């Protein structure tokens, strides 16, 4: 059995008087692709941000490779982050830098590569996302799908072992959604990454998920394989994954 | 106090939320400033980034300070000449204009113009980076965004404003010369001699010294507002405008304090 590399135990998080996460526990094993579903505002992105130390949970433990994220000093947290990648919903490309500079930035700041090595890495990452021609473009010149791909290339350029995707296909057309999802799947196989993806998108999840969980009202409502999830008769899940609408209170 | 008077007074006073927000903002700025001083001496040192910002900020501000500096000197001389003439003291015009520009007008005007142009720019730029998750993206790739974005900008502002001020003072003195030529019969040599004779070391050092403080204020306030921006594009706009207001207010307040300290250290 593969090693557990992410272990989240009873995590609580609230903003002001609004409770977002109410005791979420889950594990992710090495090489696994976990997809987290849930309505907007249920804390999916918050959970990811707690995992990388951008947010601090109010209670509970988050262990990554056996290290408690909340206990790490800034230097130790950054050392851990060197093995993680994060694709933001908006791709979060640096507006003032070209595509090449965006991709070189984490390499320049964290490693001692020569210019030649960096160029080779940038070209390889862009080749993986099929955007070699965009190397000298500015982010403002890219379409939504291209921005996502470049964001993905920037995230994988450091060859992370654990990758997190925050709504990787939101706002994209179905064909681009499939392309990006397939790309995520291929990268996971090629780079042997473990991945956690937050999404609303059934197409994306069907392509990339080994296992899925559904968050509702700050707790995990469902955990299992995708085929089990889409066949579940829980009114909330039926509403989420099928064209039918069921009144959740009555189940009709 | 009668009830009507109380009600009127209540209308005049700002709402409790606004007062709380103001004090929270001051407290937040203090914490942010402490964080800057903790970070500024720690590696990594981003010298290239500081130089890049100095170039950008200097070029951005040059046109507006050039025009304003020249006109301030010219107008000040034109306005002062009739007043001095009443007392038969026209010959003091170069000295009066030079001292006014060196000691007060040059540093404060340049700082206020710099605040208007740069503080809002930093507030908007960092605010936009915050709301589009670019700062978070930096953080998750193990890069310290505070060092890279804030420390470099604040250091650049602190170093570039004194240079701009010296430039403005020189232009203002030259602008005043144009006015002196218009209203008085004098030569450039006589004018420059009068200017040099009127300025002492103790006039220049405190005056330029305080511009380092003003530059720091512009950088730290713009960065503070932008770095902590929230609520999307509305937050970016707010960060941009409030940073100008806050920086300008602090420049004027610190000027008052620094003038008192200067006069205490170097009595006229």
pLDDT of amino acid A246: 63
- End-to-end CA distance of chain A: give it in Å, rounded: 42
- B81 to chain A, closest Cα gap in Å: 50
pLDDT of amino acid B13: 63
- pLDDT(B192) > 70: yes
Place of tokens 């849930």: A38
CB contact under 8 A, B133 and A78: no
Q: How would residue A40 be classed by pLDDT, with cut points 50, 70 and 90?
A: confident
Strand runs labelled E in chain A: 4-15, 18-29, 33-38, 59-64, 67-68, 84-87, 162-166, 194-198, 211-216, 219-224
- pLDDT(A222) > 60: yes
In a domain, B11, yes or no: no
Q: Per the structure block, which two tokens stand in for A252?
A: 């009709």
Instruction: Report the share of chain A in percent with pLDDT over 90.
Output: 56
In a domain, B89, yes or no: yes
In a domain, A206, yes or no: yes
Lowest mean pLDDT among A61-70, A172-181, B221-230: A172-181
Domains in chain A: how many in total?
1
In a domain, B9, yes or no: no
In a domain, B142, yes or no: yes
Q: How would residue A80 be classed by pLDDT, with cut points 50, 70 and 90?
A: very high
CB contact under 8 A, B134 and A94: yes
Nearest CA in chain B to A104: B141
Owning domain of residue B183 = 45-265
Q: Per the structure block, which two tokens stand in for B134?
A: 């670019």
Residues B136-148 pLDDT 10s: 999 999 999 999 9
Lowest mean pLDDT among A75-79, A234-238, B210-214: A234-238
pLDDT of amino acid A252: 47
CA distances from B94 to A34, B80, B91, B169, B188 (A): 77, 10, 7, 13, 11
CATH number at residue A202: 3.40.50.300
Query: What is the ipTM score, two decimals?
Result: 0.89
CA distances from B52 to A229, B57, B59, B64, B153 (A): 53, 9, 11, 20, 9
Q: Which of A78, A84, A92 sits opposite B136 (nearest CB)?
A: A92
Q: How would residue A184 be classed by pLDDT, with cut points 50, 70 and 90?
A: confident
Owning domain of residue A205 = 4-92+161-241
Please choose, from the candidates A31, A1, A14, A25, the residue with its C-alpha nearest in 3D space to the C-alpha of residue A196: A31
Distance CA A134, CA A136 (A): 6
CB contact under 8 A, A106 and B129: no
How many Cβ pairs within 8 Å bridge chains A and B?
Answer: 52
In a domain, A220, yes or no: yes
Q: Which of A79, A90, A106 sits opposite B143 (nearest CB)?
A: A106
> From the CB of residue B233, how many other CB atoms can be counted at a distance below 10 Å?
12
CB contact under 8 A, B133 and A88: yes
Q: How would residue A244 be classed by pLDDT, with cut points 50, 70 and 90?
A: low
CB contact under 8 A, A92 and B128: no
For B49-63, b/e burial (b = at least 16 CB within 10 A) is bbeebbeebbeebee
The answer to whether the predicted template modeling score (pTM) of the entire model surpasses 0.95 is: no
Mean pLDDT, residues A29-49 taken together: 90
Classify the C-alpha dihedral B160-B166-B167-B171 as positive or negative: positive
- pLDDT(B175) > 50: yes
Four-CA torsion A236, A242, A243, A247, nearest 10 degrees: -20
C-alpha A99, offset from chain centre: 21
Mean pLDDT, residues A186-211 taken together: 88
- What DSSP designation does A203 have? H
Mean pLDDT, residues A226-249 taken together: 74
Residues B101-150 pLDDT 10s: 999 999 999 999 999 999 999 999 999 999 999 999 999 999 999 999 99
Mean pLDDT, residues B212-239 taken together: 92
- pLDDT(A69) > 90: yes
Lowest mean pLDDT among A189-203, B13-27, B239-253: B13-27
In a domain, A168, yes or no: yes
Average predicted confidence (pLDDT) for chain A: 89
Q: Are A127 and A104 in contact (CB under 8 A)?
A: no
> From the CB of residue A116, how many other CB atoms can be counted at a distance below 10 Å?
8
pLDDT of amino acid B264: 86
- A79 to chain B, closest Cα gap in Å: 7
Domains in chain B: how many in total?
1
In a domain, B19, yes or no: no
In a domain, B252, yes or no: yes
Residues of B in contact with A93 (CB under 8 A): 134
- pLDDT(B95) > 50: yes
């Amino acid at each position: 059995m593969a090693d557990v590399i992410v272990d989240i135990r009873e995590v609580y998080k609230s903003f002001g008087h609004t409770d977002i996460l109410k005791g979420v526990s889950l594990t992710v094993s090495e090489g696994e692709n976990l997809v987290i579903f849930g309505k907007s505002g249920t804390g999916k992105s918050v959970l990811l941000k707690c995992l990388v130390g951008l947010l601090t949970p109010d209670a509970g433990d988050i262990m990554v490779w056996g290290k408690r994220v909340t206990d790490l000093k800034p230097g130790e947290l950054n050392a851990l982050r060197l093995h993680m990648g994060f694709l933001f919903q908006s791709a979060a490309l640096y507006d003032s830098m070209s595509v090449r500079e965006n991709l070189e930035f984490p390499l320049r700041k964290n490693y001692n590569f020569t210019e030649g090595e960096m160029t080779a890495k940038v070209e390889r990452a862009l080749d993986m996302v099929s955007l070699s021609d965009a190397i000298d473009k500015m982010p403002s010149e890219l379409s939504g799908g291209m921005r996502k791909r470049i964001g993905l290339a920037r995230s994988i350029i450091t060859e992370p072992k654990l990758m997190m995707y925050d709504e990787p296909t939101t706002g994209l057309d179905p064909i681009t959604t499939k392309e990006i999802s397939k790309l995520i799947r291929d990268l996971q196989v090629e780079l042997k990454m473990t991945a956690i993806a937050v999404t609303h998108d059934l197409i994306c999840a069907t392509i990339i998920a080994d296992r899925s969980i559904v968050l509702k009202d700050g707790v995990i409502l469902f955990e299992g394989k995708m085929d089990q999830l889409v066949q579940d008769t829980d009114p909330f899940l039926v509403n989420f994954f099928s064209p039918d609408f069921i009144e959740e209170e009555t189940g009709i | 106090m009668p009830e009507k008077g109380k009600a009127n007074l209540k209308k005049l006073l700002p709402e409790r939320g606004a007062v709380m927000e103001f004090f929270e903002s001051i407290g937040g700025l203090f914490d942010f400033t402490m964080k800057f001083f903790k970070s500024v001496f720690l590696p990594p040192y981003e010298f290239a980034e500081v130089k890049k910002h100095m170039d950008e900020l200097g070029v951005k501000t040059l046109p507006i300070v050039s025009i304003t500096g020249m006109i301030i000197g010219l107008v000040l001389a034109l306005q002062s000449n009739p007043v001095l003439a009443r007392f038969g003291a026209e010959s003091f015009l170069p000295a009066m204009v030079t001292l006014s520009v060196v000691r007060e007008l040059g540093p404060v005007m340049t700082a206020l113009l710099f605040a208007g142009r740069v503080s809002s720019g930093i507030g908007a730029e960092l605010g936009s980076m915050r709301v589009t998750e670019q700062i978070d993206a930096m953080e998750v790739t193990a890069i310290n965004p505070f060092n890279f974005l804030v420390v470099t900008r604040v250091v650049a502002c602190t170093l570039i404003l004194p240079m701009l001020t010296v430039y403005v003072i020189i232009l203002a003195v030259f602008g005043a010369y144009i006015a002196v030529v218009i209203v008085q019969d004098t030569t450039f040599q006589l004018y420059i001699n009068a200017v040099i004779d009127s300025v002492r070391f103790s006039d220049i050092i405190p005056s330029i010294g305080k511009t380092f403080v003003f530059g720091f204020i512009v950088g730290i306030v713009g960065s503070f507002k932008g770095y902590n921006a929230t609520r999307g594009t509305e937050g970016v706009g707010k960060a941009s405008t409030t940073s100008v207001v806050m920086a300008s207010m602090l420049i004027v307040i610190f000027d008052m304090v620094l003038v008192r300290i200067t006069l205490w250290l170097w009595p006229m």
